[in-house]
């Protein structure tokens, strides 16, 4: 099954790339969305119990990276949708998943940040909030949102951080996506105004209950979302390097008598870029496999989760440097509209996301110090 999903992703490469080149609109072309859905790629992480494929963590990474290699915006929207549907497929009770997955694995979008307040009402919450970065919202049938619950006056308790989902028709889209990169993700802002959210359509963001799906889901939202962002970065950087190698075979610098491929200076640059790429990718796969192994052993731990998060930060930042290096090495060929130019814009847009930011690095560094302190005590 895993091989068939990766093969399908590879077979779609030219189709996705052609639409990315021809697309002047604000959203991914509808035929591309349909092709991804028909190939079952939106369900690569979703539990089998609700119609998904529930692949292993490395198989999921491979699919995400392959689609992002064809087009960064398409890869970004795929991993965003696949994540949201997988979480509700795993962490929601049957009374809600029966509705959400009634017609198979749906397309979804949404922001995790708790930008809304959920007031308890009979059977759920009334949610109001303003959200940003609803990647893929133009094609989604469900929209997710983070919220803090309101503690009724006179009652004890603390607000909860919940993630919820609601039919996309309830979201008031603002259409304000005018950006440098990831231009066709339609990651626009949206508002939810006094929207009823049934209790079953929510889960505790940091401590969700797993109703279905395997132990992989015990890693939680942060680790599994990081995997999506890592796959995006891996795919975009791979495309830029592939395009650079292709250009080098025929391109000559002004005044040069041979192609770039015959230049030792260029070859040194290329070798260093490829080395940085493979090194960053290796840590992602190593950290992801360690986290999955811990989950399968019934021992998912913050150390493994934070390592996945930091490996994602690292590969995203390295990918940005690698793509920038490819952009410079290709000379004026990368200045014009084309794959390298698109990769350049998309990866730099990706570096602005939370999962490429400092939070993961800080948590990882705290683990390093804690583990080092413990090891020092053992050796003293």
Structure tokens at 283: 């840590």
Strands 161-167 and 108-121: unpaired
Query: Are 172 and 231 contained in the same domain?
Result: no
Q: Which of 339, 346, 358 is nearest to 320 (CA)?
A: 346
In a domain, 376, yes or no: no
Query: Are 161 and 304 contained in the same domain?
Result: no
Query: Are 229 and 357 contained in the same domain?
Result: yes
Query: Are 184 and 235 contained in the same domain?
Result: no
Please count the other Cβ atoms lying within 10 Å of the Cβ belonging to residue 101: 21
Q: Which CATH number covers residue 8?
A: 1.10.540.10
Query: Are 163 and 269 contained in the same domain?
Result: no
pLDDT at 215: 96
Q: How many residues does the chain have?
A: 380
Query: Are 257 and 334 contained in the same domain?
Result: yes
What is the extent of the structural domain holding 15?
Answer: 2-100
pLDDT at 154: 81
pLDDT in tens, the chain (380 residues): 568 999 999 999 999 999 999 988 889 999 999 999 999 999 999 999 999 999 999 999 999 999 999 999 999 999 999 999 999 999 999 999 999 999 999 999 999 999 999 999 999 999 999 999 999 999 999 999 999 999 988 888 899 999 999 999 999 999 999 999 999 999 999 999 999 999 999 999 999 999 999 999 999 999 999 999 999 999 999 999 999 999 998 877 765 657 888 899 999 999 999 999 999 999 999 999 999 999 999 987 899 999 999 999 999 999 999 999 999 999 988 888 999 999 999 999 999 999 999 999 999 999 999 999 766 556 65
pLDDT at 361: 98
Q: Which CATH number covers residue 182?
A: 2.40.110.10
Query: Are 280 and 358 contained in the same domain?
Result: yes
pLDDT at 296: 96
Query: Are 165 and 241 contained in the same domain?
Result: no
Residues 27 and 138: beta-carbon distance below 8 Å: yes
In a domain, 12, yes or no: yes
181-202 as b/e: b if 16+ CB within 10 A? bbbbbbbbbbbbeebebbbbbb
Q: 271 Cβ partners below 8 Å, 6+ apart?
A: none
**Tally of domains in the chain:** 3
Query: Are 222 and 367 contained in the same domain?
Result: yes
pLDDT at 250: 85
Query: Are 245 and 364 contained in the same domain?
Result: yes
Q: Which CATH number covers residue 324?
A: 1.20.140.10
Rounded to two decimals, what is the model's pTM? 0.95
pLDDT at 128: 98
């Amino acid at each position: 099954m895993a091989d068939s999903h990766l093969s399908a992703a590879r077979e779609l490469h030219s189709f996705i790339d052609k639409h990315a080149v021809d697309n002047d609109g604000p959203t991914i072309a509808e035929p591309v969305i349909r092709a991804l859905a028909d190939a079952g790629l939106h369900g690569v992480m979703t539990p089998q119990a609700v119609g998904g494929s529930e692949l292993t963590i490395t198989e999921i990474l491979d699919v995400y990276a392959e689609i992002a290699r064809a087009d960064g915006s398409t890869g970004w929207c795929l991993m965003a949708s696949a994540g949201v549907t997988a979480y509700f497929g795993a962490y929601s009770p049957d009374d809600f998943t029966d509705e959400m997955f009634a017609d198979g694995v749906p397309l979804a979008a949404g922001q995790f940040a708790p930008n809304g307040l959920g007031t308890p009402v009979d059977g759920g919450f009334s949610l109001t909030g303003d959200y940003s970065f609803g990647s893929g919202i133009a094609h989604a049938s469900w929209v997710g949102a983070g919220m803090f619950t309101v503690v009724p006056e006179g009652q004890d308790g603390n607000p909860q951080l919940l993630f919820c989902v609601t039919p996309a028709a309830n979201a008031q889209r603002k259409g304000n996506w005018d950006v440098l990169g990831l231009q066709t993700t339609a990651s626009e802002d949206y508002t939810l105004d006094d929207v009823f959210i049934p209790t079953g359509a929510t889960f505790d963001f940091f401590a969700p209950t797993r109703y279905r799906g395997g132990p992989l889901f015990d890693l939680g939202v942060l680790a599994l979302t990081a995997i999506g962002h890592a796959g995006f970065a891996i795919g975009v950087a791979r495309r830029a390097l592939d395009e650079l190698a292709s250009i080098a075979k025929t391109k000559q610098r002004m005044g040069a008598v041979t192609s770039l491929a015959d230049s030792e200076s260029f070859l040194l640059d290329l070798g260093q870029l490829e080395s940085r790429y493979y090194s960053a990718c290796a840590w992602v796969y190593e950290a992801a496999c360690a986290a999955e192994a811990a989950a399968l052993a019934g021992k998912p731990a913050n150390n493994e989760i934070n390592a996945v998060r930091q490996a994602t930060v690292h590969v995203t930042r390295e990918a940005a440097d690698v793509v920038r290096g490819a952009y410079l090495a290709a000379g004026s060929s990368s200045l014009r509209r084309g794959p390298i130019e698109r990769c350049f814009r998309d990866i730099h847009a990706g570096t602005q996301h939370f999962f490429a930011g400092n939070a993961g690095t800080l948590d990882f560094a705290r683990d390093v110090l804690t583990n080092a302190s413990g090891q020092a005590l053992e050796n003293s």
